Homo-oligomer: A and B are copies of this chain.
Amino acid sequence: MSTGVRRQVDRRAATTERLLDATIECLADEGYVATTTRRVAERAGVSQGAQQHYFPTKAALVDAAMTRLVEQLLADAAARGVEAATERERAEALLDLIWEIHHLPITPAVLELFNVARTEPVLAQRVAEIICAGMSEIEALAAAALPSYAGRAGFGDFIQIAMATVRGTVVVAAIPGATAAHPSWPALKAHLLGSLERLGSPA
C-alpha cells in the first residue's frame, strides 16, 4: 500500500473506533432512546456526514457496537484465561473471571441492551444471538479449565446458574443505594464453589 492509502485506512479505522466507543458510552450513560446518530456523532467529535457514511442508521451503529463489545469481552476473557495448577484453583479463577466480565466499564451498556431487547424485536434477535454465543464460549472455557467437573451431570446447568446469579447481582448493584439487597462476592463465590463440588459423579 502507498503511504497515502495507508493513512486513509488508518483514519477510517480510527473514525470507526471513535463512533463505536461513543455509541457504547452513550448507551451506558444516557440509555438506548437517547442514543441517536446525532448524539453519537457529537460525542465522537465526528461530523454527521462522516457518521452517516460509516453507519447510516442507529440500528447499524448499535449492531456494530454490540458485535465489537462482545468480541472485546471474549478476547479479554480468553487472554486472561483460567490458569492455575489445581482444578480447584481453576474453578476459583473461572468464577472470578465470570464476576469480572460482569464488572467492566461496558457492563452498563450491556444491561441497557438487555432491557431494550425485551420490547424491540429486531434488537432482541441480535442480542439473543450474542448472549447464546457468549454463553457457549464461557461453557467451552469452563470445560477446558475444569475437565473432571465438565463430565459430571449438571455442569452445563452450573455454568448457566453461575452466570445468572452474577447477572442478577449486578442488575441490583447498579442501582445506587441498593447495596443491602444483593449478596457479596465472597458469599456468592463460596455458594457457587459448594455447588460445583456437589455435582453428580461422571456419567
Contact = CB atoms under 8 A, between A and B. Distances in A.
Contacts of A125: 176-177
B131 A172 contact: yes
A111 interface: yes
Interface in A182-203: 182-184, 187-188, 191, 194-195, 198
A161 B191 contact: yes
Interface stretch (A88-96, A113-121, A141-149): A113-121
Describe A's contact surface by its main secondary structure. Answer: helix
A75 to B, nearest CB: 20
A114 B176 contact: no
Given A135-B181, A168-B166, A181-B160, A176 B124 contact: yes
A167 B135 CA distance: 17
A33 interface: yes
Of A112, A131, A172, A195, which is in contact with the most chain B CB atoms at under 10 Å from its CB?
A: A172
A63 to B, nearest CB: 15
Contact of A164 (B29, B111, B127, B169): B169
Given A118-B111, A176-B121, A195-B194, A132 B181 contact: yes
A191 B182 contact: no
